[in-house]
């Protein structure tokens, strides 16, 4: 792939230019040296890193955790990477359980509301 400008990198990663700059400020993406004749350019490694950051965010990792994952990739510390993944799975499981509880509660309130004809709506009363 030929060298990319920041707008090309952003487009390749499905983000805006300001997001690329934000990731650079956070140390998740390297800022190019700018010594190229036509200005700053990015390459395939930058695009891969941007995709990595986006996928890690989609998995629910924080920016701090993503920075640690990037460092772990350099050190090949698989044990820590596994631990981080297991912790993230546990957090997702807890969030799923919380959402399932909320879904059950709301479904019950909707049924109660459908069967009642007088008085305040159980949904509105529960949210009050």
Per-residue pLDDT tens for 4-26? 999 999 999 999 999 999 999 99
Burial class (CB in 10 A: 0-12, 13-18, 19+), 114: exposed
What domain count does the chain have?
A: 2
> Same domain, yes or no, for 71 and 82?
no
Pair 60, 94: CB distance under 8 Å: no
Q: Across residues 99-111, what is the average pLDDT?
A: 93
pLDDT at 98: 98
> Same domain, yes or no, for 64 and 98?
no
Domain that holds residue 65: 1-76
Q: Residue 120: is its pLDDT beyond 60?
A: yes
Q: What is the pTM of this model?
A: 0.77
Give the pLDDT band of residue 115 (cuts 50, 70, 90). Answer: confident
Whole-Å CA distances, 107 to 100, 103, 110, 114, 121: 10, 6, 5, 11, 14
CB count in 10 Å sphere of residue 101: 10
> Same domain, yes or no, for 6 and 58?
yes
Domain end position, chosen among 39, 61, 76: 76
- Residues sharing a CB contact under 8 Å with residue 46, sequence separation 6 or more, in sequence order: 4, 9, 29, 30, 32
Q: Residue 124: is its pLDDT beyond 80?
A: yes
Pair 81, 40: CB distance under 8 Å: no
pLDDT in tens, 46-101: 999 999 999 999 999 999 999 999 999 888 889 999 999 999 999 999 999 999 99
Q: What are phi and psi of 42, to 5 degrees?
A: -120, 155
> Same domain, yes or no, for 112 and 54?
no
- The vertex-118 CA angle with 116 and 124, nearest 5°, equals 70
pLDDT at 34: 60
The residues that bridge with 4 in the sheet, in sequence order, are 42
pLDDT at 83: 97
pLDDT at 26: 95
Q: What is the CATH number of the domain that holds 47?
A: 1.10.1660.10
- Residues sharing a CB contact under 8 Å with residue 88, sequence separation 6 or more, in sequence order: 59, 60, 61, 65
> Same domain, yes or no, for 51 and 31?
yes
């Amino acid at each position: 792939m030929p060298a990319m400008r920041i707008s090309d990198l952003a487009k390749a990663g499905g983000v805006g230019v300001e997001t690329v700059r934000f990731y650079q400020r956070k140390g998740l993406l390297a800022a190019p040296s700018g010594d190229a004749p036509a200005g700053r350019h990015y390459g395939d490694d930058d695009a891969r890193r941007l995709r990595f950051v986006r996928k890690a965010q989609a998995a629910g990792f924080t920016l701090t955790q993503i920075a640690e994952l990037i460092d772990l990739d350099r050190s090949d510390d698989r044990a820590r990477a596994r631990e981080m993944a297991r912790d993230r799975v546990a957090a997702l499981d807890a969030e799923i359980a919380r959402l399932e509880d909320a879904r059950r509660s709301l479904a019950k309130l909707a049924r109660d509301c459908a069967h009642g004809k007088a008085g305040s709506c159980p949904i509105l009363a529960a949210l009050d």
